[in-house]
Amino acid sequence: MPQTKTISIGLVSILFAFLISGCVSVSDKNMQNYRLKSVPLTKNTQTQASSVIYELYQQHREWQGVRYRLGGQSKVGVDCSGFVQLTYQSKLGVYLPRTAKQQSKLGTKIQKRELEAGDLVFFRTGPTSKHVGIYLEKNKFLHVSQRKGVTISRLDNVYWQSKYWKSVRL
């Protein structure tokens, strides 16, 4: 087992999920209640990335096909920001706020070409609607689609390309 080292999320940040008119809302005042927790990652950056990718694919296997439900946070139904919040907490030990809007205010904005496993990817799916997912690798991200439920999509898909807003590293 490789030696581990605790670092602040760094590599880990969520890609994106699917549309949603805000993915539920909680007041911005509550943002101060969310603190990024340290995540134990292996010493080697390549091993860290592999570990994050493994955990994210594992989450996909466990949740694949779970239907989209606005405000949902269970296998009965889940929305984009709820899925991102649950994934970060259960697989990466990081607590995030509940809404896509709140999640978009965390971390450091990065360029699409800089994406690494765990980075959050955000989309504008309507005038006031935001969608969030978690970047995996090779232009793929994990999210909740209204049509397919929990799924993996591609950033270079015509729809997602046109809706892309920004990427964030926590």
Catalytic residues: 80, 131, 143
The helix/strand count (H/E) of the chain reads as 4, 11
SS3 of 151, please? strand
Select from 33, 167, 5 the least CA-distant residue to 95: 33
d(CA 130, CA 127): 9
Select from 88, 69, 87, 64 the least CA-distant residue to 79: 69
d(CA 132, CA 122): 5
